[in-house]
Amino acid sequence: MIDKKYIDEAGEQTLLNLSRYVLNEFVKNSINEFNESKLKSFQITEQLKQKLGVFVTLKKGEELRGCIGYILGENLVYKNVIENTINASSRDPRFRKVKPDELSGIDIEISIMTPLTKISSLDEITVGRDGLLLRKGWNSGLLLPQVPLEWGWDKKTYLEQLSKKAGLPADGYLDESAEIHRFSAQVFGEKSGA
């Protein structure tokens, strides 16, 4: 999905451990904010202080349980992971809040985003490499690069699903006023809930 890694394997593991810790603390203890003094046990290196967009996805088996993120890197990666872990577990409007008895069955996946690139032709899109953001007026929808692979979609189906996610008709992506941006993501996750 991405050629250049922004975070090395040790950094990936730190972010996954941090996300798991925050998820457990938030769900079990109903905290609303994460106290940064608890970060002492995590090795927050300079690479985790980059300003990059981050999505946190929670899955229960193969089923989506929550997914929230920031497209743009307006905050530090590790802070985005903290915020989006809390948000994915409690503020994704498609799902009820994660309950303590679900924690052991939930897997965490983190996507570190590259900057957006506006496309001028649908030929520029590569399924499996590119995540897509569609904007038309007040409507917008985003799908991460791994989504069409998980669902076995071809490019046309990917674009139709993106249009629907944006609240548009399936062919909304063809509208002249629609803007499509692509991005890649460094995606990593747990193998099973911890």
What is the residue extent of each domain of the chain? 9-114, 117-183
User: For domain 9-114, which CATH number applies: 3.30.1280.10, 3.10.450.50, 3.40.50.10420, 3.30.700.20?
Assistant: 3.30.700.20
pLDDT for residue 74: 86
**CATH code for residues 117-183:** 3.30.1490.150
pLDDT for residue 194: 45
What's the mean pLDDT in 119-133? 95
**Residue among 180, 187, 100, 102 nearest 136 (CA):** 180
pLDDT for residue 3: 62
Q: How many other C-beta atoms can be found within 10 angstroms of the C-beta atom of residue 86?
A: 22
Q: How many other C-beta atoms can be found within 10 angstroms of the C-beta atom of residue 130?
A: 24
The model's pTM is 0.85
Q: At what angle do helices 9-29 and 77-90 cross, to 10 degrees?
A: 40
102-120 residue pLDDT tens: 999 999 999 999 889 999 9
18-57 residue pLDDT tens: 999 999 999 998 766 667 777 788 889 999 999 999 999 9
What's the mean pLDDT in 1-7? 73
DSSP code, position 99: P
pLDDT for residue 33: 66
Q: What is the mean pLDDT of the chain?
A: 91
